[in-house]
Amino acid sequence: MRKIIHIDMDCFYAAVEMRDNPEYRDIPLAVGGSGPRSVLCTCNYQARKYGVRSAMPAAKALQLCPDLKIVDGRMAVYQEISQKIRGIFLRYTDIIEPLSLDEAYLDVSDSSECHGSATLIARQIRQEIFNELNLTASAGIAPNKFLAKIASDENKPNGQCVISPDKVESFVERLPLKKIPGIGPKTAEKLKQFGYHTCADVRSSNVSKLQQIVGKFAFSLYQRSFGLDERELETSRLRKSLAIETTLAHDISSVECADVVNQLFPKLVRRLEKHNDRSITRQGVKLKFADFNQTTVELQSQECDLEFFLCLLKKALARADNRGIRLVGLTLGFAEKEQGTSQLSLPI
């Protein structure tokens, strides 16, 4: 039986700013730009009480919380602290899958620290993060990645949750589907319309029925409803795509979009130079309209070609319906590393 820990720092960027600036500690705080088109990176728990959330437009956040203090991010500082956190992880295991600067999976199945107790290892890691960096973290401990990630959110902030093997059945059965990674609000609402609210509802169905609702995610969803997840930790993850985008200071018309693509393309090429060992498989153009709806057009391609981007732009603009454009983005997809697949015996 594997022992997986998911460590998730509590409102990481905001917590660093509160640590370094005492005047921010007792006020609603967010990290991100404060311009009319800016989006928040994260916010502290005082701000969340007002409904402020990560990835929310700054203008909307200020409507919900007029006293919100928005500060610029300091990415170099966050990266340095993230490396120190990883150093703490390495005291217990070298099987680490970082998901971002502020969260990671750890496989401690073979660790002899804390008498091999994953629960005690997680507790000690959190204590060392606090003692050495004056920051708090939450943890989930479970037999697999899926359950560990959900568990880390159960007792936030500054807490941990253990799902032992003998508790998996009861925990998963009553788990709301909206808590499963990969199920966003729209998918959760769609499942709800068909009578699927919890994992127990999914268990009583089958993959064929689920495919009609969630497509290729059906098999994974069915697995998760039984608490199954055979994924190993990816200690060296290959980038699957590369993207660059810009949120415009004001809405523009369709005829102005080509100029934005021409400005973005050289920046994308410069970023691509760092990944010259990767094979390109597709190009894409993303547009977000004035009403915040968005569209993406992608087609197969083996190179980064400006003219091809402009052709994709025309296809995307055909969906504009006279709406203004507030964001333009370019994407490249890379060939994925071939991986073996394992099959679980589940009813279909």
Amino acid occupying residue 245: E
Nearest by Cα to 303 from 279, 284, 285: 279
Please say whether the beta carbons of 92 and 106 come within 8 A.
Answer: yes
Q: Give the single-character DSSP code of 333.
A: E
Task: Report the alpha-carbon distance of residue 215 to residue 218 in Å, rounded.
Answer: 6
Classify 330 as helix, strand or coil. Answer: strand
Sign of CA dihedral 37, 41, 46, 51: positive
* Active-site hit among 17, 103, 256, 303: 103
Encode burial over 274-286: b for 16+ CB neighbours within 10 A, e otherwise.
Answer: eeeebebbebbbb
Task: Report the alpha-carbon distance of residue 219 to residue 228 in Å, rounded.
Answer: 11
Nearest by Cα to 311 from 269, 259, 258, 263: 258
Task: Report the alpha-carbon distance of residue 347 to residue 342 in Å, rounded.
Answer: 16
**Which structure tokens are listed for 340?**
């073996």
Task: Report the alpha-carbon distance of residue 267 to residue 244 in Å, rounded.
Answer: 8
Residue 143: CB atoms within 10 Å: 21
**Which structure tokens are listed for 297?**
């057009």
Question: End-to-end alpha-carbon separation of the chain, Å?
Answer: 26
How are strands ordered across the β-sheet holding 294-300? 241-252, 325-334, 280-289, 294-300
| Burial status of residue 62 (CB atoms within 10 A of its CB: 0-12, 13-18, 19 or more) | middle
Please say whether the beta carbons of 287 and 294 come within 8 A.
Answer: yes
Verify whether residue 230 is a known catalytic residue: no
Catalytic residue ranges: 103
